């Protein structure tokens, strides 16, 4: 019958969507070993989104959330809506967007975060965190992670873990008389307790 056929088609479409890679590790394990942009469906909703996959660093499988370069030209002192939806170009500088970070991490909450820092002279340092996930818009995209190690040390746990995201037009920090986002011309998971806004700000 038509109803039965329609049901089968819907089931087939659901199965096809659910087989889409959830992130860049899934892409890597399915043979996508070249670093480039791929479509992923993190929560199995059928709403695919493009992400930049780094398949070279530390064995590959990394979904790039942010990229900044010296002299890249992208203005990171943006509004809340810009940080929610994402901005920039994957080719140069970008922020993937808080909504996408939430989709990528919230359903599993066991992701690993790696921060790579490269100086102009080529010297490199990194930090790695486990249990990384970003809360929903309703919780202002609160940051959750646990420091694991790395040559750059830990600059996120003390002032940023468990904190909501703030931008220049949406102040969610704990500073009663200031806006950390305005003060440091960037958007981040600021603290603000006792006038201590941050120990890191990769968007400032």
Give 75-101 pLDDT, tens digit per residue. 999 999 999 999 999 999 999 999 999
Question: What domain range is 93 assigned to?
Answer: 74-195
Q: Do 85 and 123 share a domain, yes or no?
A: yes
Alpha-carbon distance values, 93 to 23, 90, 127, 132 (Å): 20, 6, 20, 22
Same-domain status, 129 and 183? yes
Q: Which domain-ending residue is among 22, 38, 64?
A: 64
| Mean pLDDT rounded to a whole number for the chain | 89
The verdict on 48 and 85 lying in the same domain is no
15 burial (CB, 10 Å; 0-12 / 13-18 / 19+) is exposed
When comparing pLDDT for 176 and 105, which is higher? 105
- What predicted TM-score, i.e. pTM, was given to this entire model? 0.87
Structural domains of the chain, count: 2
Same domain, 17 and 109: no
H or E segment to which residue 12 belongs: helix 2-18
Confirm whether 69 is domain-assigned. Answer: no
When pLDDT is averaged across residues 103-124 and rounded to a whole number, the result is 90
Q: Examine the domain organization and report whether 184 and 89 are in the same domain.
A: yes
Separation CA 143–CA 129 (nearest Å): 12
Assigned domain for 142 exists: yes
Rg (Cα) of the chain, in Å, rounded?
A: 19
For residue 52, the cross-strand partners are 37
Question: Tokens for 93?
Answer: 């500088």
Residue 150 domain flag: yes
Query: For residue 167, what are the β-bridge partners?
Result: 170
| Residue 4 CB neighbour total at 10 angstroms | 8
Interacting residues of 85 by C-beta distance below 8 A, sequence separation 6+? 97, 99
Does residue 2 register a pLDDT over 60? no
Q: Which pLDDT band, with edges at 50, 70 and 90, does 18 fall under?
A: low
> Is 52 found in the same domain as 150?
no
Do 89 and 189 sit in the same domain of this protein?
Answer: yes
CB atoms inside a 10 Å sphere around CB 39? 11
Q: Do 121 and 186 share a domain, yes or no? A: yes
Answer yes or no: is pLDDT of 5 > 80.
no
**Mean pLDDT, range 8-22, rounded to an integer:** 56
* CATH code of the domain in which 6 resides: 3.90.215.10
Assigned domain for 202 exists: no
The DSSP code sequence of 123-136 is -EEEEEEEEEEE--
Banded pLDDT at 4 (limits 50, 70, 90): very low
Backbone angles phi, psi at 156, to 5 degrees: -120, -30
Q: Are residues 168 and 131 in the same domain?
A: yes
End-to-end Cα spacing for the chain: 60
């Amino acid at each position: 019958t038509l109803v039965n056929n329609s049901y089968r088609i819907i089931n087939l479409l659901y199965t096809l969507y659910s087989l889409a890679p959830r992130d860049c590790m899934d892409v890597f394990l399915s043979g996508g070993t070249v670093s480039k942009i791929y479509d992923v469906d993190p929560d199995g909703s059928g709403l695919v989104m493009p992400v930049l996959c780094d398949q070279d660093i530390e064995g590959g499988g990394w979904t790039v959330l942010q990229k900044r370069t010296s002299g890249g030209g992208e203005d990171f002192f943006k509004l809340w809506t810009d940080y929610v939806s994402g901005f920039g170009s994957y080719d140069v500088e970008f922020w993937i967007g808080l909504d996408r970070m939430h989709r990528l991490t919230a359903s599993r909450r066991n992701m690993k975060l790696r921060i790579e820092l490269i100086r102009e002279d080529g010297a490199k340092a990194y930090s790695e965190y486990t249990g990384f996930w970003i809360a929903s818009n309703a919780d202002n995209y609160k940051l959750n992670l646990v420091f694991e190690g790395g040559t750059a040390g830990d600059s996120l746990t003390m002032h940023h873990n468990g904190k909501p995201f703030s931008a220049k037009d949406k102040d969610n920090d704990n500073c009663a008389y200031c806006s950390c986002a305005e003060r440091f011309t960037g958007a981040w998971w600021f603290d603000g307790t006792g006038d201590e806004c941050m120990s890191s700000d990769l968007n400032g």
